[in-house]
Amino acid sequence: MSRPLDDTDRAMLRALVADGRQTVRALAKVVGLSEPSVRDRLQRLERDGVIEGYHAELAPTEVEAGTAAFVALRFDPSKQAKDAMNKALTHEPCVLEVHEVAGEDCYLVKVRVSSTEALADTLDRIRAMPSVHSTNTTIVLRTILERPLLPR
């Protein structure tokens, strides 16, 4: 196991979630420690898997993904069918999230596509996946808030 995070770790994480490209020097200024110390901590956070990666955030409308929707999926919940579903959904680039949820629906799937027409095509492909019983799609009219996970 890894040590619990202290206040300095959390300050670094918050800074890196806000700006993932900032330099170690800038981080050192933020937390008030020397560069090597901050670098050691950063490497530890990365090695311990607290930081899973760094990603550019793209504007959905600029990359033909201005339409979002959530698809509640029901399907045969056998282990085999699940594995096949996971693989098939992962191969759909517009499928951004898949959550196994409690309740009558098996999966809750978040998709981002260019238009409602593209959404229709995506839904056709999802419904054509083996063992799918039904889909119930909720279209997003407007995204009010979408932000990355912050520490504590």
Work out whether 120 is an interface residue with its own copies (CB under 8 A): no
Q: What single DSSP character describes residue 111?
A: E
Q: Which of 51, 88, 123, 129 binds its own copies (CB under 8 A)?
A: 51
Q: Nearest distance from residue 18's CB to DNA, in Å? A: 16
Long-range contacts of 56-59 (CB under 8 A, 24+ apart): 57/148
Buried b (16+ CB within 10 A) or exposed e, 17-55: eeeeeeebeebbebbebeeeebeebbeebeeeeebeeee
Enumerate binding residues for its own copies (CB under 8 A).
2, 5, 13, 16-21, 48-60, 62-65, 68, 70, 86, 89-90, 93, 95-103, 105, 107-108, 112, 138-152
Enumerate binding residues for DNA (CB under 7 A).
8, 23-26, 33-37, 39-41, 44
